[in-house]
Amino acid sequence: MSYICDLCPRQCNTDRSLRPGFCNESEKIMLARAALHFFEEPSISGTEGSGAVFFCGCNLKCVFCQNEKISRGLIGKKVSVEELADIFLNLESQGANNINLVTPSHYVYQIKDALIRAKEKGLSIPIVYNSSAYELPETLCLLEGLIDIYLPDFKYMDEELAVKYSNAPGYPEIAKKAIEEMVRQVGAPIFDERGMMKKGVIVRHLLLPAGVKNAKSVVSYLNETYHDSIYISLMNQYTPMDTPSLKKAGEKYPDLLRKVTKREYERLLDFVLSLNIENAYFQEGDTASESFIPDFDYTGL
């Protein structure tokens, strides 16, 4: 059966039953890890951990990607839809606060089937859709009613940066429309008595070196558009990795070869405080470390 893929803004229209799409993946589900993860926002990880399922492949492929081995489809273990449903249930049995679908965009059809199967078998914890915000609203609509929490990373308001670092012209408008659809689906944040999010949207922004202006533009847009109907998570954990893509990009964009400075992050936080934004997560200390990147050793598969 053919699998002509038009799920993401790349619109590569590749028959993924015959060859990989832009995402570097076929129609077969490829995973790198499925385990409790403790480095998400407090209302996602909690103390028990988030049930993170790391999908291989990516439709964005940022040159600074911290997970290049899996985003470029260089590794991966094949699982069936039935096995994916069982993985979700196993994570719930381990005490996961939620099922955290990491970089899931190109597997929406398979994820939908697996979630339906798992819910029929009793899966009851919230489902988190963790993506780059490089999404089509019509694709997100396929998951309506199945996703409880959207966790997009709004990377660029500056289209020039989107082109330089992710070869993604049009990214700002695409991300805006995607987040609008996410908010429409799940509504304002809802938390349980432990402070764990049950419904809602948390929009992340990873501050890049020399990227304060871009970051302020992202924050301004989100605040003006959504106010307290979403949470904003501002990350300072950019880590320059020893990868072929970053080495090549660093020749043209040397700022990418360094960490974000303390002063850069402080400037962003001062700006957020000046806007009186209350629904925000900040990071403290030196979070730019490879220790925060999990081992993609097929744990849980």
Range of the domain at 261: 26-292
- pLDDT above 90 coverage of the chain, percent: 90
- Whether the CB-CB separation of 219 and 205 falls below 8 Å is answered with yes
Nearest Cα residue to 241 out of 297, 291, 171, 298 = 291
Within a domain: residue 207? Answer: yes
For the chain, strand residue ranges (E) read: 4-5, 14-15, 29-37, 50-55, 77-79, 99-102, 127-131, 149-152, 190-191, 197-206, 231-235, 280-281
**pLDDT of residue 291 exceeding 70:** no
Amino acid in position 3:
Y
The first and second tokens of residue 179, run together, are 């987040």
- Per-residue pLDDT reduced to its tens digit, 232-283: 999 999 999 889 999 999 999 999 999 999 999 999 999 999 999 999 999 9
Residue 19 placed within a domain:
no
Type of residue numbered 124: S
For residue 171, name the pLDDT band (cuts at 50, 70, 90). very high
> What band does 174 get if pLDDT is binned at 50, 70 and 90?
very high
Q: Which residues, other chains included, contact 273 with Cβ-Cβ below 8 Å and sequence gap of 6+?
A: none
Identify the bridge partners of residue 152 per DSSP, sorted by sequence position: 131
Number of domains in the chain: 1
pLDDT(214) > 80:
yes
- The pairing of strands 14-15 and 50-55 is unpaired
11 falls within a domain:
no
pLDDT band at 185 (very low <50, low <70, confident <90, very high): very high
Residue 2 lies in a domain: no
**Residue 284 — pLDDT band, cuts 50, 70, 90?**
confident
Q: What is the mean pLDDT of the chain?
A: 94
Residues 84-112 pLDDT 10s: 999 999 999 999 999 999 999 999 999 99
- Tokens encoding 188: 């304002």
CATH number at residue 206: 3.20.20.70
Residue 224 in any domain: the answer is yes
Q: Is the pLDDT of residue 3 over 80?
A: no
pLDDT at 56 over 60: yes
Average pLDDT in the 146-161 region?
98
- Residue 12 located in a structural domain: no
Distance CA 103, CA 61 (A): 11
How confident is the model over 105-142, as pLDDT tens digits?
A: 999 999 999 999 999 999 999 999 999 999 999 999 99
pLDDT of residue 292: 63
Cα 4 to Cα 28, 87, 136, 140: the distances in Å are 13, 27, 16, 17
Residue 77 in contact with residue 301, Cβ under 8 Å? Answer: yes
Rounded Cα–Cα distance for residues 211 and 158 (Å): 10
Buried b (16+ CB within 10 A) or exposed e, 125-160: bbbbbbbbbbbbeebbeebeeebbbbbbbbbbbbee
Q: pLDDT at residue 46 above 90?
A: yes
DSSP string, 253-292: -GGGGSPPPHHHHHHHHHHHHHTT--SEE---S----GGG
Amino acid present at 75: I
Residue 153 DSSP symbol? B
149-152 and 197-206: which strand pairing?
parallel
Angle at 187 (CA atoms; ends 176, 93), nearest 5 degrees: 105
For the chain, helix (H) and strand (E) counts, in that order, are: 10, 12
Cα 77 from chain centroid?
20
Strands in 132-271 per DSSP E = 149-152, 190-191, 197-206, 231-235
